[in-house]
Structure 1
Amino acid sequence: MSKQNPAIAASSSIDASSTSIPIKAAQVELVEDLTHDEARDRSQLELRVGQAFYQAGKALAQLRQRRLYRSTHRTFEAYCQDRFGFTRRYSDYLIRGAVVVENLQQTRTIHSQNQLNEQKETNENLRTMPAAILPTKLEQIKPLANLKPQEQQQVWNKAVAKANGKVPSGRIVRGIVEQLNQKSSVSTNSVFQAGDVFILVRLAGKERKYNGCWAIAVEQSEYAVIVDVHNTTLTVKLKNLNKIDLFKAQQQLPQILQRMRRLHAVGILDRGADNVLEDLAKQTDLTPVEEGLLSWLEKYYKVDAQASES
């Protein structure tokens, strides 16, 4: 008996309950007839959606591409939700995951660090020989989805080597992808000096509120940068910084930062004052009215604007 590919045969992260969810009669309407062959193909593909994530992704891709859901649903999203209990995002993950697996099938998997070292001179072979070890769970695929095909192969080989020739966990794959992104950021961003001015972008989590704010560089490490914003100090990645090359901004914003910091040092500010400062933190060239508002706040809170320059 032949041994099946683990990416095709192994059970996935799809819940067993989701593979047998019936179509709710109240949500089904006859939208457009399918041919006999299309109806047969739809039934077969729906059965495959309940299998491993690779088969599920392949099946969903065909159902979407051929619009085989159209006899009962007007949209692919509604069909996936009613038939399988899948959100649109999860369905997209499965489809993209199948594409990644097919790409990895085109490259040889390195089983150990020694083999990885031995293959440095024959990298072309890595893209033409079938992979011996493939993903078995969707979480191993997600970190690879946004990478280029060759990068997916390189990351997977490194992950397998780190897992001593076994199927790596999603955590291992994600860690290697993060390292790749950090190295990419270092190579694509110019070196800068303390005092340079940037716009913050692509921040996530509790720091996302600072997206669009200007910031002053304080210190740079290999993969991160410490920056001052109007009310705090942040540690961000190079990819989160867009440099401002305007001479006027480079000259004025450090002084404005000091003035805003002195206002925040007063203590709890009025809601209106906070709103004004948050807006000014996104303006790289203050208008006369904005400069007047900042001066009025300094006068109101008895903050000496000139003290920040001493």
Structure 2
Amino acid sequence: MTKKPSSRRKKDISAQSTDRTLPANSADSILHQDNPANATIDVPAVEVPELTEQEQRDRLHLERKVERAFFEAGKALAELRDRRLYRSTHSTFEEYCKDRFGYNRSRSYQLIDAAVVVDNLHKCPQIVDILPTAEGQVRPLTKLETQQQQQVWQAAVEKAGGKVPTGRIVKDVVQQIMERTRVPNTYQIGEVCQILAKDNPELRGKGGCWCIVTYVGEFSCIVRTWDGEVTVGVQHLKSYNYLPAECQQMQQIYDRINRVYSSGLEESVQRFLESLGKLKRAYLTGLEEKVLSVLETEIKINTKN
């Protein structure tokens, strides 16, 4: 009968094999170490190779792609909107952006407006080498006119020590300029004015519309347009200087337009109302009066039914 090797033998073999894996000086140093926690371990230095010229070019190219990501997104969204490439699946651009990209209306237009600003900054040779790298750096500029955007960005770059400024720095510079250029508010409640949208994205679609002042603030007014109320800075308003009787007549026209608009008639009707919302006179022509009267009659019939 063959005898099994004793467990003592196994332990001896294991111990011998373990001992052979440790250098003698390592074992001695561990045994004689008063405090193992203070032991030092020598780690050989690893030499990091320098980037080749091709790697440097690749790095710069990829960095530029990251920096331009928000700009390219804004340009793409603007084209999708302008060409209505969403129309096969969605009735509105806002619904499309929400379903496809998870962007709400505000975020979509932030990117679009930022792309417009960056395009404008590209045209200024003094700042072409230091351009925005994030949408937040551009957002404070979207409310400014084209030339002001370039001036503010240059000032912000200087304030940042010649580097790309943070959104906070840009916002501070914008605030300083707005405080210096603000015009006192001389408008009056009931006054009829024209909205000058200029480069203000918040007034998109309102340019050229007439409005009636309903509230006068320090540097802005709340006004009524054909499709609702909006807050407008005084720099974006121009008075028609109508007589009191003409202002009263425009108020009556507004009331009639707003009633029809609020009834929710089809899109073609809204286009007609929009055209009335851009009148540059204090009266309706005979044909405009007839069409508006027909629409008012239609509303009454629908209300009765």
TM range, normalised to the smaller chain? 0.3 to 0.5
When the two structures are superposed, what TM-score results if normalisation uses the length of structure 2?
0.47
If you compute each CA radius of gyration, which structure gives the higher value, 1 or 2? 2
When the two structures are superposed, what TM-score results if normalisation uses the length of structure 1?
0.46
